[in-house]
Amino acid sequence: MMDFKRWFTLVEMIIVLLIIWLISWALWKMFTYKDVTRAKYGTCYLHIDSNITSFFEYWLLQKQVYSWDKYEKVKNYQVVFNVNTQKVSLIYSWTDQKKIYILSWDFVDSLNDCHGVGYHTLLSWENLKVVINPWLNPDQGKQDWIWMTLYTWNNFTKKLSAWATWAVYFYYCPGAWTKWCLERNKIEVDTRTALFKSYFCEDVDINNWKCIKWSK
C-alpha cells in the first residue's frame, strides 16, 4: 500500500513538472526576445511622448523653473527633435533646466530603453524645433504675436509659417543598422491649434516597412 502511494506521488510530481514546463515554453514562445525589444521601444516612445505632453501642460500653466536660488519665469518652452544627434530635448529658456532623450548611436540613455544590443530607436526625418511662447501674455492680442513657431532644417534657422504643421517619425530598428526600420509612431505639431498629436501605425507595408495606415 505504501509503495502504491509513493508511486502515485511520483506521478503527481512528474505531471506538475510537465505542466510547469509547458507553461514556461508557452510564455517563452509568446514573449521572445524580438517582442522584448519591441516592448522596450514602446517604453522609450511612451516616455518621450508623455513628457512632451507634461511639458506642454507646463506651458499652459506657465510653470516657473527653480534656477540657482530662486524661481524664474520662462521666456519660452522649446521642444527640439535633432535628427543629426538623435536627441529629443525639452528646454526651458533662460535657465539651465532641460530634459534630453538620447536615442541611437549613444549608449547613455539606458533609463528610457531607447536602445540596446539588439535594437535601437531612430528619429526621422528633418530636424525640428518647436518654440512655444507664454500663453498668458498681455501682448497676445497683437497680430504679430505667435504662440507656437516651427523651425526646421539642419541649423534650425528656416522659419515656417505660423499656420504650418510638421510631423516627426519614430522608427523601431531591430538591429544595429538602419536599413530595415519599422515606422511605428509619429508626433505631429500643429500650430493652428497649438497642439502636439501622437499617432501609432495600424498597418505597415511589408515591402518597405513604411506605415500605410495611421491611427486617428
Average pLDDT over residues 29-34: 54
What was the pLDDT predicted at 114?
A: 87
DSSP classification of residue 160: P
Instruction: Give the separation between CA 32 and CA 171, rounded to whole angstroms.
Output: 20
Q: Indicate the range of 111-120, 136-145, 161-170, 179-188 predicted with least confidence.
A: 136-145
Its sign, for the CA torsion 173, 178, 183, 188, is positive
SS3 159: strand
pTM greater than the 0.85 cutoff: no
Burial environment of residue 52 by CB neighbours within 10 A (0 to 12, 13 to 18, 19 or more): buried
C-alpha–C-alpha distance, residues 76 and 59, integer Å: 8
**Secondary structure element (H or E) that encloses residue 198, with its range:** strand 195-205
